């Protein structure tokens, strides 16, 4: 069976691909990852297609954990793929997860598109109607913002506030600022791209951000795994590395 793997900064996600759609997706935290349990979960893999933005050590772990005989290929960003053209100054410098998420997002929506992925970091990227990746933004994710304030100030807590229109305690003030900063950037990019643009929101913090967004949007599943499934069907191996 073919295994699709999205190794992010904090978590590793995977799904099986039967040639139609990713299925039976699962995830594990990288911190304290049990390689034996992962090997057991992946033992049926005969091939694997993956992205890894978590560093070389995680890349080595992925390859060591896959079963013997499994053909593993790591996806890198490229100048064009699956109808998407990159206008990045150096296309190869773009994170593979952002690139593959754009491919996955395009399979769900045509026309101008804002692709926001809210994980450890939040990325907000723009596709025009012709499938050109115009550029995008990276900012600390919600939890990273909260942790940074608690770690680098003397009096502010690691906030666990609640959504509020007018925050009236410190935890709520910090929590809402972190979430609303994400929403505000998404809205700004939506405005730059044009009011007819669609917005796709995914990632672990999507449930926090979605209620705060003032523009129409759709919450999507793992766009990287979806993009990998498109590459599995269309890629001839040119832009992947064994």
> According to the CATH classification, is domain 2-76+227-241 in 1.10.10.10?
no
The string of pLDDT tens digits covering residues 4-33 is: 999 999 999 999 999 988 999 999 999 989
Residue 97 known to be catalytic:
yes
Torsions phi, psi for 36 (to 5 deg): -65, -45
What class has domain 109-219? Answer: alpha beta
The string of pLDDT tens digits covering residues 128-150 is: 999 999 999 999 999 999 999 99
Q: Look up the pTM and report it.
A: 0.93
**What's the CA gap between 45 and 52, in Å, rounded?**
18
Among residues 25, 97, 180, 196, which one is catalytic? 97
Other beta carbons within 10 angstroms of residue 163's beta carbon come to: 13
Element at 179 (helix H, strand E): helix 170-193
**Residue pair 74/231 in contact by the 8 Å Cβ criterion:** no
Structure tokens at 150: 């608690």
Q: Domain spans of the chain?
A: 2-76+227-241, 109-219
């Amino acid at each position: 069976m073919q295994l699709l793997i999205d190794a992010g900064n904090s978590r590793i996600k995977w799904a099986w691909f039967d040639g139609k759609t990713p299925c039976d997706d699962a995830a594990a935290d990288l911190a304290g990852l049990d390689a034996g349990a992962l090997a057991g979960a992946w033992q049926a893999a005969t091939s694997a297609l993956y992205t890894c933005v978590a560093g070389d050590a995680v890349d080595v772990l992925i390859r060591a954990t896959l079963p013997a005989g499994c053909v593993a290929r790591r996806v890198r960003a490229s100048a064009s793929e699956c109808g998407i053209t990159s206008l990045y100054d150096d296309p190869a410098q773009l994170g593979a997860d952002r690139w593959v998420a754009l491919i996955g997002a395009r399979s769900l929506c045509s026309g101008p598109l804002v692709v926001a992925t809210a994980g450890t970091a939040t990325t907000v990227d723009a596709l025009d109607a012709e499938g050109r990746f115009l550029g995008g933004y990276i900012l600390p994710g919600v939890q990273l913002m909260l942790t940074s304030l608690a770690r680098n100030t003397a009096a502010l807590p690691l906030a666990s506030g609640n959504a509020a229109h007018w925050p009236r305690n410190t935890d709520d003030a910090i929590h809402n600022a972190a979430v609303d900063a994400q929403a505000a950037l998404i809205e700004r990019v939506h405005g730059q791209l044009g009011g007819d643009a669609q917005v796709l929101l995914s990632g672990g913090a999507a449930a926090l951000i979605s209620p705060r967004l003032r523009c129409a949007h759709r919450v999507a599943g793992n766009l990287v795994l979806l993009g990998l499934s498109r590459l599995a069907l269309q890629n001839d191996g040119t832009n992947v590395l064994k």
